[in-house]
């Protein structure tokens, strides 16, 4: 099969090809992208294909096809006249590493249930986090994956950057500005984008431990020095923002810590994967899973209107769940109809018996 055919097959597996507008939320993990995806799907779902993707490994899992890159799909769609938006989000390095660590704390780092890990001492959690700290992700897709020739400076006034290349529109946001995302995205897409907070670590069963960790964690001085020189922090935060960020962490410094070397970390992560018994596949990850059937589209419209009116949303748009609910509603209605008919029959039978008794007495 040719490369073009592989790309075409990937697109058919991922998207509703009758829709010509595409949004790739193409970000590293743990930068607030799930909230972004659910919000865009809820607000734009009927007119846009919206995909949440981190890397080629995730792409191969979604499609079952290897040897196709995300940029291959983007370029193929562009060459076929599709409208493409690609969105990335920047998150400060220490907080991102914390979030990534806690995301995998159960299936990888301790290979234990979240309930059991909740009983661990905070010192034990901090020690493990520090051992892997330098090896946790801190890359940037906008710089490293998009193949943009001349990256323009971040727009600190508008709190986002928008850049066009080869007819694709690239958008860079910052998690620290998430309270402005609704206004920013509404301006870009010329429609009301309602922000729906989705998938926060604090809301998981490990949430209280995570809050305690963030409250008590002190950063080793050698890690702090590395963060000071982070090129992404220096690019996406202006001088005042950087100083405020670094000063806040400077008040939480502790002694130098010796983490795992690169070789030790490779051994560590391979051992974690070999011993892993907890499945880390996340089912029902999003508020809106992006299905285009009429049932899901109608539910999307309903939740969008509720959210726009300020109502708190506790529902999800998951096709199988909605179908099961619909069947339950229909079965309940059928049961009620049968019950009503049965009662009518019993009532009629009783009436007929009474009439027969009256007739019998009158003619006795």
Would you call 24 helix, strand, or coil by DSSP? Answer: strand
**pLDDT reported for residue 38:** 87
Tell me the average pLDDT of the chain: 85
Distances (CA, A) of 177 to 31, 43, 141, 183, 185: 12, 19, 18, 11, 12
Radius of gyration of the chain from its Cα atoms, rounded to whole angstroms: 27
pLDDT tens digits, one per residue of 107-165: 999 999 999 999 999 999 999 999 999 999 889 999 999 999 899 999 999 999 999 99
pLDDT tens digits, one per residue of 320-346: 555 565 555 555 666 566 566 666 666
- d(C-alpha 333, C-alpha 328), whole Å: 9
How do beta strands 161-165 and 168-174 pair? antiparallel
Regarding pTM above 0.75, the answer is yes
**pLDDT reported for residue 160:** 97
Comparing CA positions, the residue from 121, 171, 125 lying closest to residue 146 is: 171
**pLDDT reported for residue 57:** 87
Q: Where are the domains of the chain?
A: 3-317, 318-364
**pLDDT reported for residue 5:** 93
């Amino acid at each position: 099969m040719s490369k073009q055919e592989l790309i075409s097959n990937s697109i058919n597996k991922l998207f509703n090809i009758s829709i010509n507008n595409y949004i790739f939320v193409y970000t590293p993990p743990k930068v607030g992208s799930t909230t972004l995806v659910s919000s865009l799907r809820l607000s734009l779902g009927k007119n846009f294909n919206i995909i949440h993707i981190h890397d080629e490994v995730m792409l191969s899992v979604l499609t079952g096809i290897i040897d196709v890159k995300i940029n291959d799909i983007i370029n193929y769609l562009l060459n076929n006249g599709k409208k493409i938006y690609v969105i990335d989000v920047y998150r400060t390095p220490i907080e991102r590493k914390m979030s990534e660590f806690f995301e995998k704390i159960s299936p990888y780092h301790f290979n234990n249930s979240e309930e059991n890990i909740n009983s661990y001492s905070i010192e034990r959690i901090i020690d493990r986090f520090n051992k892997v700290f330098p090896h946790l992700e801190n890359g940037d897709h906008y710089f490293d994956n998009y193949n943009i020739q001349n990256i323009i400076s971040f727009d600190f006034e508008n709190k986002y950057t928008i850049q066009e290349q080869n007819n694709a529109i690239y958008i860079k946001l910052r998690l620290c500005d998430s309270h402005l995302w609704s206004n920013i995205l509404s301006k870009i897409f010329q429609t009301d984008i309602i922000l729906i907070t989705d998938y926060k670590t604090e809301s998981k069963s490990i949430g209280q431990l995570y809050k305690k960790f963030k409250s008590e964690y002190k950063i080793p001085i050698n890690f702090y020095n590395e963060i000071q020189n982070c090129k992404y922090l220096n690019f996406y935060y202006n001088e005042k923002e950087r100083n405020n960020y670094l000063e806040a962490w400077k008040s939480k410094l502790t002694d130098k810590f010796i983490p795992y070397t690169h070789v030790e970390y490779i051994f560590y992560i391979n051992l974690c994967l070999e011993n892993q018994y907890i499945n880390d596949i996340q089912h029902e990850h999003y508020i809106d899973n992006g299905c285009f059937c009429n049932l899901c589209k109608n539910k999307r419209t309903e939740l969008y209107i509720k959210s726009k009116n300020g109502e708190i949303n506790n529902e999800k748009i998951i096709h199988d769940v909605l179908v099961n609910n619909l069947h339950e509603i229909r079965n309940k209605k059928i049961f009620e109809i049968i019950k009503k008919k049965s009662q009518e029959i019993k009532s009629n039978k009783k009436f007929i018996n009474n009439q027969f008794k009256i007739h019998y007495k009158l003619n006795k």
